[in-house]
Structure 1
């Protein structure tokens, strides 16, 4: 089944719009096709209705009966440790990184750009050195190749090589 995040009682959602933007809530009841009753006891979102286009559904789901009281929702929330699971998710880490990036000053952005530039420069130099070494070894394109002269040792630089026939 390709779709796994259904609008259902107990589904945890992230508020995408409005005064509670960025907070986690749980769906308590489905009002109609476009609205749901939500409650966020841990994130201090009061019980109320929200439009579905104001929510992003997460993979987390709590087990409680529909129209459960805030006390029951809070207990299910703490038992399932939703805040910890959310903090460990890639989605939450991405949101936190985006928030941190938005708070950077001009100087912080400059320092970040310089650090990236230095890192990329070091990476490029290291890559070129490895590529040169692999090219010399003959392992650049996979198999190690034999040297072209057979087993003859190469003369050292500066050594004189006699030309012609020897007697």
Structure 2
């Protein structure tokens, strides 16, 4: 099946034939919104969850599924500025029949890249601000614009602006 998927124009009938050998409930419908890879992934994941449910013993962690990233189409300023990217985490939930407790099989998200420990946050924020990446640019609302101006003033003047509290009588 992998060889078929890698072709420039994969044969959908052949791919679904392979999938039906694993699980006869495979859908033949490939929507225009899905790539062949996503179609295969969704059918394999559905087949796995169905078999895991019928296994009889709870399965809590799913360690073998690939990490999927999703970049939605953003048409609003904040989304465009942040260039949002999300990890898609597969899971299935059901009530175990014997003891009536909820089982939630969850995909573990694996990272191969190292975790960065930032020791000079202020320096990095200043460098980003110098190239136009800052709180005001990312979050274009009045509160964040005011917070950005306040922080710039505090940084340039050395004086901290305190919040005034309103007391009701």
Q: TM-score, normalised by structure 1?
A: 0.20
- TM-score under structure 2 length normalisation: 0.20
